[in-house]
Amino acid sequence: MGKLIVIKSNSEIECMARAGNALAQVVDDLKGSLKCGVTTLEIDKIVEDAIIKRKAKPAFKGYRGFPASTCTSFNEQIVHGIPSNRKIKDNDILSIDIGLILDEWMADTAFTIGFGPISEDIQRLIEMTQKSLHKGIEQARPGNHLSDIGFAIQSFVEPFGFSVVRDFVGHGIGRSLHEDPEVANFGLPKTGPVLEEGMTFAIEPMVNLGTYQTKVLEDKWTVVTADGKPSAHFEHTVAITKDGPKILTDLNG
């Protein structure tokens, strides 16, 4: 509390929408290349080329020393996986997180995709995590409280037996990739700051099949579930407008 949440003007939100739309196009470019046998380094190259083609810059590369433009997290990896020569294979799920900077404004998005036959419970994990993102986004409107977002996400996924990661959360976003406030994916309703028009958040539920507890691997980046069970992750950059939430990182944004 007491933290500064930067309010953006309408014209600043338009700039962020251009960044968000460019990022949605990057994701769209990538989708046809996501198949078994492709390495995550190849994915990273496709992403970086697509970002540069749109006169934008990768937001993650070099951020606190991160070595790539994309975070690629397989199966029990939750977030911050580093692209490598590992190939996608049948039964894998892969979370892909991408950020870019266009004209000094940031956009951040993520999604999880399954390959080959994946079990029903893991398929449901992916689908419900994506739905929970939209449950959270729906709360991003003036007059609601910050924690209404996390409450909506948590109370949607837990009845399926899934758990919400506590150690990593969403965030404000704008000229910086990570601004205040932290946007938790859990918590009680009606606490924390009151939401206002002009706030811009990256809302990003990370939902686990088993325990919510996490570990960080020896590479100091890759976050995995403590019990080795799979995790899914979806993220959009969202602006709070007087009419409600506006998703900036979709193709209509």
Query: Which CB, 83 or 99, lies closer to Mg ion?
Result: 99
Q: How many other C-beta atoms lie within 10 A of the C-beta of residue 11? A: 7
Shortest gap between Cβ of 91 and Mg ion (angstroms)? 27
For 62, 127, 133, the CA distances from 120, given in Å and listed in that order, are 38, 10, 20
Q: Footprint of Mg ion on residues 196-225 (CB under 5 A)? A: 202
Interface of this chain with Mg ion, residues 19 to 58, rule: CB under 5 A = none
Phi, psi of 90 (to 5 degrees): -50, 145
CA distance 105 to 92: 33
Q: Which residues ranging from 79 to 138 are in contact with Mg ion (CB under 5 A)?
A: 108
Shorter beta-carbon distance to Mg ion: residue 22 or 118: 22
Determine, following the binding rule CB under 5 A, whether residue 179 of this chain makes contact with Mg ion: no
Q: Output 82 or 118, the one with its CB closest to Mg ion.
A: 82
Cβ nearer to Mg ion, comparing 79 with 126: 79
Least distance in angstroms from the C-beta of 200 to Mg ion: 12
Shortest Cβ distance from residue 93 to Mg ion (Å)?
19
CB of 225 to Mg ion, least distance (A): 19
| Closer to Mg ion by Cβ: residue 3 or 87 | 3
Rounded Cα distance, 211 and 227, in Å: 7
Distance CA 198, CA 244 (A): 11
Q: How far is the CB of 231 from Mg ion (least distance, A)?
A: 15
Catalogue the E-assigned strands of the chain.
Answer: 57-58, 70-74, 77-79, 93-102, 105-114, 163-164, 170-172, 179-183, 200-203, 206-208, 214-216, 223-225, 231-233, 236-241, 244-247
Q: Tell me the closest approach of the beta carbon of residue 235 to Mg ion, in angstroms.
A: 5
Helix (H, G, I), strand (E, B) or coil at 241: strand
Beta carbon nearer to Mg ion, 48 or 108? 108
Residues of this chain that bind Mg ion (CB under 5 A):
108, 202
